[in-house]
Amino acid sequence: MPWLTYPAIDFISQFDFSDASVFEWGSGYSTLWWAERCRRIVTVESNVKWVAYIKPLLPTAVEFIVSSFDVEAEVAALTGLTERHFDVFVIDNHGPFRWRCAEVAASNLAAGGFVILDNSDQCPKACMVLRDAGLTQVDFTGFAPGNAYAHTTSIFFRGGYRFKAHGTQPHRSRAQPNPAWPGC
C-alpha cells in the first residue's frame, strides 16, 4: 500500500491504470502498488540506504533509476528519458526538491493525467508551482500507513482526467466497516 493518505489511496484505487505510464520521485511501497496496476512505472531514488532496502523488493518490470542526492540529478532522471510524458507523476522525494520536480512534472504531464504530491501541507512552494501551471488542486487529508499523525496528499489535475472507474464507483473504502444500505 502506498504511504499516501488513506483518502488519497481510496480515490486513486477506483481508477483503471492498466494503460497508464507513471513516473515517481521517491520509490517505496507506492512503487510496488503502481507496478501491479500500470503499464509502465519509472521511479527515481537518491537515498542510498533506501535503495539497498527497496530495490530487492521491486519487480523486474520497474524501471529503477538511482540518482545522486541532488535536485538537478533527480530532475535529469526524467529529462534524460526519450519519452518524458507520463500519465501520472508522483512526487514523494526529499522535501526541498519537490518544487523543482513539480515544475518538470507540470510541463511533461500527458493530457488527462495528474500529479500526486504527498505531504503537500509541508510543500506550499510545490503546490504553488503546480497551481501556477494551471493545475487544479484537490486535497486529501488524513492518516497514512506508517504514520501516527494526519497529513495531506494533494492531486493536481489539468482539466479532466482520462481514467475510467475500476469496478463500482464510489468503491467501498477500506475504512468503512458497514455494508451498503438496502435500497440506496
Q: What is the pLDDT along the chain (184 residues), one digit of tens a residue?
A: 899 999 999 999 999 999 999 999 999 999 999 999 999 999 999 999 999 999 999 999 999 999 999 999 999 999 999 999 999 999 999 999 999 999 999 999 999 999 999 999 999 999 999 999 999 999 999 999 988 889 999 999 987 777 777 666 566 666 667 776 777 6
Q: What was the pLDDT predicted at 183?
A: 72
- What is the distance between the alpha carbons of residues 70 and 109, in angstroms, rounded to a whole number? 22
- What is the distance between the alpha carbons of residues 79 and 77, in angstroms, rounded to a whole number? 6
Which amino acid, 167?
G
Provide the whole-model pTM: 0.89
3-state secondary structure of 58: coil
Place of cell 527515481: 44
Exposure string over 9-48, b if 16+ CB within 10 A, otherwise e: bbbbbbbebeebbbbbbbbbebbbbbbebbebbbbbbbbe
3-state secondary structure of 84: coil
Q: What was the pLDDT predicted at 163?
A: 79
Q: What was the pLDDT predicted at 170?
A: 65
Sequence ranges of the domains in the chain: 27-118+125-149
CATH of 27-118+125-149, one of 2.40.50, 3.30.70, 3.30.2170, 3.40.50: 3.40.50
